[in-house]
Amino acid sequence: MPRPKNNRLVFEPPVFKRFKPIGVKGADLESVILSLDEFEAFRLADQMGFSQQEAAEEMEISRPTFTRLIEIARKKIADFIIGGKILEIEGGNIHFKNNIIKCLDCGHMFRTTFKDDVLECPSCHSKRLLNLAGGFGHGKCCTNRNQKRGGNYARRR
């Protein structure tokens, strides 16, 4: 019986979770699924420039686990670009450190911690808000985890 997977930490939910080539109907394309932990490994290594050790520490995983995640992520992203497929970001054993909220009235997006109780848009004061972490099935679990650890604990951004 395989060992259960530990949850990995993702800084915040991605703003966009689906990408496709222009000019082709989505129904005609195959999909590549990038898990949220693979997305985070790609973001930390290739966008933020973290070393594998730094990125592993940020995600609270071992360096060999991070190496596996980044290799898988890069292969999937290459398949998406070269193969002309749809890339969808979803799933994985993760918890978010922070959240992004989008106002459904004015479109304003803002970052927040899970300890903050956001009830209205700081720009237009609308109460019609979209919780991006909630779109991935997260929120209460991440709130509880972050409160046990002392709130927002991101080391560097």
- Percent of the chain with pLDDT strictly greater than 90: 68
Q: Is the pLDDT of residue 155 over 60?
A: no
CATH 2.20.28.10 in the chain, residue ranges? 97-148
Q: How is residue 129 written in tokens?
A: 């808000």
Q: How is residue 80 written in tokens?
A: 């998406």
CATH 1.10.10 in the chain, residue ranges? 8-94
Confidence of residue 37 (pLDDT cuts 50, 70, 90): very high
In this prediction, residues 66-84 reach a mean pLDDT of: 97
Q: What is the CATH number of domain 97-148?
A: 2.20.28.10
Structural fold of domain 8-94: Arc Repressor Mutant, subunit A (1.10.10)
Q: Is the pLDDT of residue 139 over 80?
A: no
Cα 155 to the chain's mean position, in Å? 17
Q: What is the pLDDT of residues 98-125, one digit of tens each?
A: 999 999 999 999 999 888 888 899 999 9
Amino acid identity, position 41? A
Residue 27 CA to residue 34 CA, distance in Å, equals: 19
92 vs 33, more confident: 33
Cβ neighbours of 25 (radius 10 Å): 7
- The 3-state DSSP class for residue 144 equals helix
- The residue to which tokens 């686990």 are assigned: 65
Confidence of residue 147 (pLDDT cuts 50, 70, 90): low
Residue 146 CA to residue 90 CA, distance in Å, equals: 21
Helix (H) or strand (E) holding 110: strand 109-113
pLDDT (0 to 100) of residue 90: 93
Cβ neighbours of 60 (radius 10 Å): 11
Q: What is the pTM (predicted TM-score) of this model?
A: 0.84
